[in-house]
Structure 1
Amino acid sequence: MIAAKKVPGKFNIEMFDDVPVLQRKWHAGLRPGERLPRYEDVMLGSLGRLADHIVLLKDNNEALEVSRTGRFIQKWLEDDRWDIPLSALSPDCATALGEAAASALRNSRPYPTVAHRVRDGLVQTYDILALPTFSRWGGTLIGVYVNERAPQYNLLDAIFSTTDEGVLSLATIRDAAGQPFDFQIVHHNQGASRLLKLPSTELQWRRLSAGGNLLCLPEVTERLLGVINGGSRDQFEVDSDDRNLRLGVTAFGDILSLTVSDVTALKRREASFRLLFDNNPMPMWVFDAETTGFLSVNDAAVQHYGYSRATFLRMKLREIWPEDEWVPHNQALQQVGDVYHSGRNWRHLKADGSEIEVLTFGRRVAFDGRDGFLVAVVDITERRKAEARIAHMAHHDGLTNLPNRERYQDRLKQALEQSQPGNKPVAVLCIDLDLFKNVNDSFGHPMGDRLLKAVADRLRSEVRGNNLVARLGGDEFAVVMASDVSPNEASDYAARLIKTLSATYNLDGIEVVVGASIGIALSPGDGDTSEELMRNADMALYRAKSDGGGVHRFFEREMDRQAQKRRDMELDLRRAFANGEFELHYQPLVDLAADRISGFESLLRWRHPEKGMISPADFIPVAEDIGLIVSLGEWVLREACTEAAKWPADVKVAVNLSPVQFRSRSLVQVVVSALAHSGLSPLRLELEITESLFLAETEANLAILHQLRELGVSISMDDFGTGYSSLSYLRSFPFDKIKIDRSFVKDLAERSDCVAIVRAISGLGRSLNITTTAEGVETVDQLDWLRAEGCNEVQGFLFSAARPAAEVEALLSRFGRRASKAA
């Protein structure tokens, strides 16, 4: 295109069209399949005057080189050299060219940008366009177009004209004797006009003696005259009704350079700071950032620390720090920036020598012309004490103040970690008090709590070194022996603990005696984790309790096998109940006088799909422990009643009840539901219980038994004669039947004492009008003895083992009974 003629003072508008022209030329030279156009298609040919504005850069993969430059470029660069590194040019031009060329190469596209050049305070803006091309001689050439965009402007004038501060130049006016007495404004910016609230035309050439603005105040003139006479500089503030101005003055011969700043907002912030600082209830101070001396303290700091204000202001920070914290305090000061928030708790010393724990928050401030630091202090002494109490409570038992289970487990894990290098044994002792429940039942829980405290004191006195004793809950305690303990040492220690804990306790004048049982597990043989050792020590404790208590037992692998077997059975039981693997078998009860079947005892059987029939002696106790016996017992009642309803009307069915079923408190409703569902008469249902039912909650259980009797259901006591107080139970409840345990029947023919017991029970039954049934009859001799002693009923293998429900009819027929369903 043809260049338009430049007009002085104007910039060339048509030059803005050069950039799109060059971009179109670049795209026109781009051939299909090529990443860049060729150099000769873009840079050679009809460039005309544009060639004067182009610098050709060569990319040699290491650095850019200046290959050719046009006349305008040479003037712009102030350098006419060719074949030189780009870095040899002035930094401002080299940087602009290098960045444009790098962007064009990176994108493989023309790259337009804008650059600025400053010379002698004058700023010129340039358009730049980098055009990457492919050279047939090898490598890449970048043609960079440069042209000025707008007229130059003076940088200092621009800064002074746009700044919010007022800038003025004042010429000194002297009298005939050469003494300065007045000043005249010879230059100012718009900021000065705005701050002094006068139009620019009125300020220019105005003498200060003419008045009309803040600079004309006598005190201002006096300060200005002082600067002229002293040849120095000054800074001061001038206040009016609504504003505060800060003046900075520097003398250059008879010319004063004056800056005016509005500090109204700053002064108001300072006033607010003073108000917030002085009256703040939080201790606060300002210290010198260089000397660490206190510059100011508020009333709260004086009251809280106990130093007088005068004493405070003579002190340095170091004097309120404990000596052992001087180093970390100093390190924190060296790293502090403009804002500080303590990342840790610090200790401070009060005037009376006491220590407090604090958090500090700070901000750098200018204070009375000094670099200062404003600090606010939060006293967390009481909070830390409360946190310590809470932390102690979280890891200690509230009653005995011994470590709790969580603290014990942490200590055990720590002991195991420390023992690993030498594989040193760690012992775990689980301690359970014997007969503790009797103390609670006899004297009440407050007495039981006092006993636990006394036990804790005795245990605490027996623990030394790294060992630890804890209360795990209830009357269960534990000790970890962490000092490379041997089995003999653990055994001796356990024996000593049992002896110590078994000695008489005097509690409020009452002598109390309890014992202790202990289970022991040692690492690594009995486990190398805290969970394994605790579990195995607990199994050893169970063994000690089973052996009568008052002893200690070590863990044995057989215990673990039995425990695993027990866990497997628990899982199998739950699955078996859900899958309907249980069934009822029925063993006949034979009336000796009538020589016929009077009823059947329903007996629960479990047919495991893989293990076959499992003995009730194995699974009933487990079902009771896990609570499954309640649901299982409800099913047995319903199933037995439903089956018995098919038998002759004078044939009864007996169902065994577990003591656990009584604890559910819904047993009566379950029996009523089973009878209603089956249509069986209550008179044909017998419920068998054992004397263990009377060992706990006797009154509540007796009430349930009476409710069942009111329904018309018969109540039998099973295994009579094997317990401690069977005779007293006959006084507690009018049983309909007592069943003589098979252990007495088995040896009738050989042992006279068994004959005496059977005779006594039979006689007791006749006297109390209670039916007697002998269990476990297997021989004719046993039957003859029982008949001779007056027993009413018998059952046992002599007549039949328990048989499935489908065989009941055959059993009835065998004994000459009609097996049709009762009407």
Structure 2
Amino acid sequence: MLAARKPSGKLNTEMFDDVPVLQRKWQAALRPGERLPRYEDVMLGSLGRLADHIVLLKDNNNVLEVSRAGRYVQKWLGDDRWDIPVTALSPDCATALGEAAACAVANGRPYLSAAHCVRDGVVQTYDVLAMPTSSRWGSTLIGAYVNERAPSYNLLDAIFSATDEGVLSLAAIRDSEARPFDFQIVHHNQGASRLLKVPSTGLLWRRLSAGGNLLCSPEVVERLLAVVSSGNRDQFEIDSDDRNLKLGATAFGDILSLTVSDVTALKRREASFRLLFDNNPMPMWVFDAETTGFLSVNDAAVQHYGYSRATFLRMKLQEIWPRDEWVSHSEALQQIGEAYHSSGNWRHLKADGSEIHVLTFGRRVVFEGRDGYLVAVVDITERRKAEARIAYMAHHDGLTNLPNRESYQDRLRQALEHGQSGSNRVAVLCVDLDLFKNVNDSFGHPMGDRLLRLVADRLRSQVRGNNLAARLGGDEFAVILASEVSPNEVSDFSARLIKILSASYDIDGIEVVIGASIGVALSPGDGSTTEELMRNADMALYRAKSDGGGVHRFFEREMDRLAQKRRDMELDLRRAFANGEFELHYQPLVDIAADRISGFESLLRWRHPEKGMISPADFIPVAEDIGLIVSLGEWVLREACTEAAKWPDAIKVAVNLSPVQFRSRNLVQAVISALAHSGLSPLRLELEITESLFLAETEANLAILHQLRGLGISISMDDFGTGYSSLSYLRSFPFDKIKIDRSFVKDIAERPDCVAIVRAISGLGRSLNITTTAEGVETIDQLDWLRAEGCNEVQGFLFSAARPAADVEALLSKFGALASQAA
């Protein structure tokens, strides 16, 4: 039975409507294609009074934390703190919340559980509805609704009300000199009414001085007054015409607890004991205080432990204790007084040899004239399993069941310590899946999750013994080879693992193909700490991915140098933007038919104060990775539009956009701002994108493109023909221009396949009324071929390299003169 705090005695009768309301709200917030609804759609707004009953749990590095809690839940927890781990709460509440949250996350939907709670003798049933949601930061948040299901009841009250013995509470009444002189009955059970032969209405709130029952005799009142005055206990008997009653009195300040027993009705008292003992669903027994032998066991104990009643009564307590707990059990027995309740759990042995975890509650009793203890047993084995499950989840990935990052780091630390003591080498492998993102984009995240589980199964099949495979997050896995391994053995293992992970996967009849890349670091040469090895293995993985993927690479010191170079570039980039070290150069776009410049493509240049001009191929990817490209891109837009406003009205300016700028969701406003600041007509602005923009969030990006085109801006597809699905993009959006990649122009005079590709793209352009521009034109021969194949526009070194803004006017004049001569 689970122990938990009871926040109030008032039952919320609307509870029966709350759970389906919340379940419907969760289901209504679930969007098509999403595994979980968003936190904002379920937990924010329109909760009303339900908010008081909700605690928000979050997974912080595999530690379940209380993020927020309503007033009702705070009372239930007995703790009003936020942002604390669930384990900081009392174990009873922590177990109830943790088990419900774990089941909700595992099932991917709301999970309703019932917690039967006992604390200080009060029994209460709580409903706990855990609702998993997703957050904008990618983690899972669980909203848990807590409320009472039924009225609480007190175990002691239940027992006392069922017993034939009378129980009364008397309040002492004092005179002006603070001396007690009378009593008022403030509580009693039915047993007291029956034994005193007075209706309940004739006892409750009645003063003893008013007479009317056996307790009102002067002798009894005198004894009770002595108990209140001295604070000592007293036990005595009173006689009536047909009975002998035994009274036991205990004072708690001015409150007197009085028990009344009919010692002449032993059989009736035994019947009451049997009602409470034999028929109790909780295992109970009485054992001899001196010999520890069992004196009596109830049916629940016989059924739960599996021993027959006769066997039980021949046994002693030690026989149900595991041998390794004999000493601690015996010491606990010596320390118990009148009552006992175990602060921790014990282990007991059942008849079949299996162990259970229990809590025990005992009270000293006289049983059939022998001094003994009445013991009640609560089996908490399932609760301990739930706690073990929570502990397991803290160190394992919930999706693949592989060890998680924390567990991986602990194991690696142990392996390194063992390796240092025995001079053994430890290998760390960082494994990243190639093309996994395409699976998510093409088939959805549920398919991606199933694929990750299959990958984990293949990893488990290959990583055995002292070695370990773990999931670090996303599609990133890691392996520890803790046994003594040579570089050749690690290389062979890595190659074999890549081959196994790259074999096709059959998921519901769909063949899914991915790859794998591996980075390797070996101790002690590549590092002696977990941080060094994991960092260096990650660098090696980066090299493997850069080399095209599907391969493994060992860490080399040169990688560390390149990583440092990259870090230096990141710092230089941020400083360069602040110091205004960037500038724009412009390369002319030439209209073949008119032999004139139709526009300029703006190209970003970085003039480093010490290193000189740095290639965009080196710094643009870094700027994208660190997010600087968004601010840098806005500067390019403003600068290019401002410069183009100075040119003749017929000349356009082309600006390249990064996919990262689309993710900022501020692109349209940035373009409008640049046009407004410069006064440039939108019809003279051309924005160039690459097809990588369509690999993620296609619908959102298409919406942005339509907004830009609605302003009158031209949209151009750059590097056309190099992607695997370019034709589908022409159907997705009505481009104004497609630019033929320089790789096809370079060999157009020597390779028929390049001619065929250029001819096909030009034909597409004519059919779709899209301008075609060829990049990288360097020779007259290439220009003649492109003219013959129907290209509309060209650019390249044949006409001019990209030049500073100051040279634009000269270029326009030069081409104007050439056009006049041609005419």
- TM-score category of the 2 structures, normalised to the smaller one: 0.5 to 0.7
1:619 aligns with 2:616: no
Cα distance, 1:741 vs structure 2: 4.1
Cα distance, 1:324 vs structure 2: 4.4
In structure 1, the gaps of 5 or more residues are 1-211, 215-234, 247-263, 818-823
Query: Tell me, what secondary structure is at the counterpart of 1:519?
Result: strand
1:540-595 superposed Cα distances (whole Å, 9 cap, x missing partner)? 23333333333222222222332333334334444544555433333344556666
Separation in 2, partners of 1:744, 1:788: 15
Report the CA distance shift for 1:269/1:406 in structure 2 as closer, same or farther (over 3 A): farther
Taking only the aligned residue pairs, the percentage that are identical comes to: 82
Give the structure 1 partner of residue 317 of structure 2: 317
Separation in 1, partners of 2:525, 2:774: 51
Separation in 1, partners of 2:724, 2:317: 81
Cα distance, 1:496 vs structure 2: 2.4
One-letter amino acid matched to 1:487: P
Give the structure 2 partner of residue 517 of structure 1: 517
One-letter amino acid matched to 2:673: S
Report the CA distance shift for 1:270/1:484 in structure 2 as closer, same or farther (over 3 A): farther
Cα distance, 1:483 vs structure 2: 1.2
Cα distance, 1:454 vs structure 2: 3.2
Give the structure 2 partner of residue 658 of structure 1: 658
One-letter amino acid matched to 2:525: G
Residue-pair matches, total: 570
In structure 2, the gaps of 5 or more residues are 1-217, 221-233, 249-255, 264-268, 818-823
Separation in 1, partners of 2:734, 2:392: 57
1:178-229 superposed Cα distances (whole Å, 9 cap, x missing partner)? xxxxxxxxxxxxxxxxxxxxxxxxxxxxxxxxxx999xxxxxxxxxxxxxxx
One-letter amino acid matched to 2:496: R
Cα distance, 1:381 vs structure 2: 0.8
Report the CA distance shift for 1:311/1:786 in structure 2 as closer, same or farther (over 3 A): closer
Separation in 2, partners of 1:723, 1:454: 29
Aligned 8 A contact 2:720 2:738 in 1: yes
Deviation larger for 737-746 or 420-429: 737-746
1:542 aligns with 2:542: yes
Separation in 2, partners of 1:245, 1:634: 91
Give the structure 1 partner of residue 481 of structure 2: 481
Aligned 8 A contact 1:341 1:362 in 2: yes
Aligned 8 A contact 2:536 2:555 in 1: yes
Cα distance, 1:645 vs structure 2: 1.9
Give the structure 2 partner of residue 672 of structure 1: 672
Separation in 2, partners of 1:523, 1:353: 47
Separation in 1, partners of 2:577, 2:362: 70
Query: Tell me, what secondary structure is at the counterpart of 1:430?
Result: strand
1:484-538 superposed Cα distances (whole Å, 9 cap, x missing partner)? 2221221222222233334444444455444433222222222222233223223
Cα distance, 1:790 vs structure 2: 7.0
Give the structure 1 partner of residue 66 of structure 2: none
1:147-192 superposed Cα distances (whole Å, 9 cap, x missing partner)? xxxxxxxxxxxxxxxxxxxxxxxxxxxxxxxxxxxxxxxxxxxxxx
Query: Tell me, what secondary structure is at the counterpart of 2:478?
Result: strand
Give the structure 1 partner of residue 98 of structure 2: none
Separation in 2, partners of 1:337, 1:607: 86
Separation in 2, partners of 1:642, 1:269: 102
Kindly report which structure 2 residues correspond to 1:15-164, keeping only aligned pairs within 5 A, or say none.
none
1:468 aligns with 2:468: yes
Give the structure 2 partner of residue 427 of structure 1: 427
Query: Tell me, what secondary structure is at the counterpart of 1:563?
Result: helix
Kindly report which structure 2 residues correspond to 1:318-717, keeping only aligned pairs within 5 A, or say none.
318-333=318-333, 342=342, 344-351=344-351, 353-360=353-360, 375-440=375-440, 445-577=445-577, 580-591=580-591, 597-608=597-608, 611-696=611-696, 701-702=701-702, 704-717=704-717
Query: Tell me, what secondary structure is at the counterpart of 1:393?
Result: helix
One-letter amino acid matched to 1:528: S
Separation in 2, partners of 1:265, 1:368: 25
Separation in 1, partners of 2:764, 2:309: 100
Separation in 1, partners of 2:491, 2:262: 77
Give the structure 1 partner of residue 70 of structure 2: none
Aligned 8 A contact 2:235 2:246 in 1: no
Report the CA distance shift for 1:737/1:295 in structure 2 as closer, same or farther (over 3 A): closer
Aligned 8 A contact 2:759 2:790 in 1: no
One-letter amino acid matched to 2:689: I
- Aligned alpha-carbon RMSD (Å): 4.6
Aligned 8 A contact 1:765 1:772 in 2: no
Aligned 8 A contact 2:585 2:804 in 1: yes
Report the CA distance shift for 1:773/1:440 in structure 2 as closer, same or farther (over 3 A): closer
Report the CA distance shift for 1:505/1:716 in structure 2 as closer, same or farther (over 3 A): closer
Deviation larger for 787-796 or 612-621: 787-796
Cα distance, 1:625 vs structure 2: 2.8
1:57-102 superposed Cα distances (whole Å, 9 cap, x missing partner)? xxxxxxxxxxxxxxxxxxxxxxxxxxxxxxxxxxxxxxxxxxxxxx
Aligned 8 A contact 2:587 2:601 in 1: yes
Separation in 2, partners of 1:243, 1:439: 83
Deviation larger for 314-323 or 372-381: 372-381
One-letter amino acid matched to 2:428: V
Aligned 8 A contact 1:744 1:757 in 2: no
One-letter amino acid matched to 1:715: I
Separation in 2, partners of 1:270, 1:505: 79
One-letter amino acid matched to 1:558: E
Aligned 8 A contact 2:247 2:261 in 1: no
Report the CA distance shift for 1:323/1:813 in structure 2 as closer, same or farther (over 3 A): same
Cα distance, 1:384 vs structure 2: 0.8
Q: TM-score, normalised by structure 1?
A: 0.58
Query: Tell me, what secondary structure is at the counterpart of 2:402?
Result: coil
Separation in 2, partners of 1:632, 1:519: 33
Report the CA distance shift for 1:237/1:712 in structure 2 as closer, same or farther (over 3 A): closer
Cα distance, 1:810 vs structure 2: 5.6
Report the CA distance shift for 1:624/1:484 in structure 2 as closer, same or farther (over 3 A): same
Report the CA distance shift for 1:417/1:290 in structure 2 as closer, same or farther (over 3 A): farther
Report the CA distance shift for 1:289/1:576 in structure 2 as closer, same or farther (over 3 A): farther
Separation in 1, partners of 2:723, 2:584: 27
Aligned 8 A contact 1:277 1:298 in 2: no
Aligned 8 A contact 1:637 1:655 in 2: yes
Query: Tell me, what secondary structure is at the counterpart of 1:383?
Result: helix
Aligned 8 A contact 2:246 2:262 in 1: no
Separation in 1, partners of 2:440, 2:310: 66
Cα distance, 1:298 vs structure 2: 6.9
Higher relative contact order (CA 8 A, sep 6+): 2
Q: TM-score, normalised by structure 2?
A: 0.58
Separation in 2, partners of 1:344, 1:578: 63
One-letter amino acid matched to 1:482: A
Cα distance, 1:747 vs structure 2: 6.4
Separation in 2, partners of 1:411, 1:661: 41
Which protein is bigger by CA-based radius of gyration?
1
Separation in 2, partners of 1:529, 1:307: 55
1:745-795 superposed Cα distances (whole Å, 9 cap, x missing partner)? 6667x8466994797489648845654545445677877887788765554
Aligned 8 A contact 1:738 1:765 in 2: no
Give the structure 1 partner of residue 45 of structure 2: none
Deviation larger for 595-604 or 804-813: 804-813
Query: Tell me, what secondary structure is at the counterpart of 1:464?
Result: coil
Cα distance, 1:619 vs structure 2: 1.7
Cα distance, 1:386 vs structure 2: 1.5
Give the structure 2 partner of residue 197 of structure 1: none
Aligned 8 A contact 2:539 2:555 in 1: yes
Report the CA distance shift for 1:506/1:281 in structure 2 as closer, same or farther (over 3 A): closer
Separation in 1, partners of 2:694, 2:761: 23
Report the CA distance shift for 1:606/1:364 in structure 2 as closer, same or farther (over 3 A): farther
Aligned 8 A contact 2:516 2:551 in 1: yes
Cα distance, 1:340 vs structure 2: 6.2
1:633-688 superposed Cα distances (whole Å, 9 cap, x missing partner)? 23322332223223332222111112333344553443333223322111111112
Give the structure 1 partner of residue 141 of structure 2: none
